[in-house]
Structure 1
């Protein structure tokens, strides 16, 4: 990760000091909130291409789990991939990340990433690509702090994008999809509940939002 020399699996897998016990304890602290999915057969390959040791929560999730679903898919933390979350941590970043590392996303079309130097002044900080602004917003926390927060309490983080009954819609959504709103959340015309809402593949939402971000930046530059 971040252009470092590739370390062998023997340096990444640490069974004596693995963070998986912390991951499971934290994920299961609030009954019914999180589901830890079993790892895929490609877990070792995912860990190798992620280049994070299992001593860290990210490495432990990548190697020992297929991902973690929170509140019936409200938020998805990526691991080695599973039927429940059919995307792996390493595969999802291929062709998408540059100077950051995507590791989780939510049903509203938001994406969480670790900064590798492209998003802020310090490597390793967590940023959120917010569908309400189409900007990378600093969360001022580490991956471990993010994970604890996600497994315990969002504390109002989603208050400006939720509506009554959205939990039921999210629970019925497939884990490789997220909401597409009209009017879009980043426009002044947005309303909740939205006039039109449907779910589309996460990859399409990512591509669309990246394209719109570039278009808006280009329009702003031309007006200066």
Structure 2
């Protein structure tokens, strides 16, 4: 719990561009060769019940992403940032941010630039559902815990998991149950045509009465950035906090 709290506070500062007040650590300081976190993550992937695809990294992007995040590779988050170009789960339905790659051309801290303060976006799904680590936006009691912005109600829902538990859930959890009512017949075919920078826009919107049956809505691929902006605009218009 203490480790999660410290990590959340640190990430919050980084995401809010407050790192200037802290001494920036070098790659040598951030790369932990004595007790790296990547073997732990690899173990979770090896035991996965869901399909997991680790996207290849490039050295330059991995170095840059780790320096921007200022997280050591001893942590699972640092290991994912430095060790992968990102991770796709369930045929690309879920995208976990790493250092970026052609298939998921976003890195962790780059994607968070200009986004909501007090949280760190760590992953998203094909419908424009977003996963974020709480750095204060959702209160002090759940610092370091993951929240999910659900496209079917536009609410930030607590998952009661830290980053490590979130990874394990993505790799081996019951995603069919988690996404009950949000997957349509033949979704795999549509998702396979997306890249990691895209999502599916549904009309009528899933959070409306008319859009509750995902099999009857009109769907098209749009930039994931568009879904982030759209969902937050509607949250503001509807007075959702």
Same fold (TM over 0.5): yes
How far apart, in 2, do the equivalents of 1:213 and 1:32 lie?
32
Could you tell me which of 36, 53, 70 is aligned with 1:51? 70
Alignment of 1:66-215 (within 5 A): 66-120=85-139, 121-155=141-175, 156-190=177-211, 191-215=213-237
How far apart, in 2, do the equivalents of 1:216 and 1:194 lie?
24
Cα displacement string for residues 31-62 of structure 1 (whole angstroms, at most 9, x for unaligned residues): 77111112232212211221221111110000
- Higher helix proportion: 2
Runs of 4+ in 1 over 3 A off after TM superposition: none
**Structure 2 residues not aligned, in runs of 5+:** 1-10, 14-18
**Structure 1 residues not aligned, in runs of 5+:** none
CA RMSD of aligned residues (A): 1.8
How far apart, in 2, do the equivalents of 1:174 and 1:80 lie?
16
Cα displacement string for residues 61-88 of structure 1 (whole angstroms, at most 9, x for unaligned residues): 0011100011221100000000111111
**Equivalence for 2:16:** none
Cα displacement string for residues 88-126 of structure 1 (whole angstroms, at most 9, x for unaligned residues): 111100111310000100001100010001123321000
Name the TM-score, length of structure 2 as normaliser: 0.86
Count of matched residue pairs: 219
How far apart, in 2, do the equivalents of 1:6 and 1:177 lie?
36
**Equivalence for 2:31:** 13
How far apart, in 2, do the equivalents of 1:12 and 1:150 lie?
26
Greater shift, 49-58 or 31-40, is seen at: 31-40
Does the aligned pair in 1 maintain the 2:73–2:82 contact within 8 Å?
yes
- Secondary structure of 1:2 counterpart: helix
Name the TM-score, length of structure 1 as normaliser: 0.92
How far apart, in 2, do the equivalents of 1:32 and 1:140 lie?
21
Give the Å deviation of 1:154: 2.9
Does the aligned pair in 1 maintain the 2:129–2:149 contact within 8 Å?
yes
- Distance change (3 Å), C-alpha of 1:148 and 1:49: same
How far apart, in 2, do the equivalents of 1:99 and 1:2 lie?
6
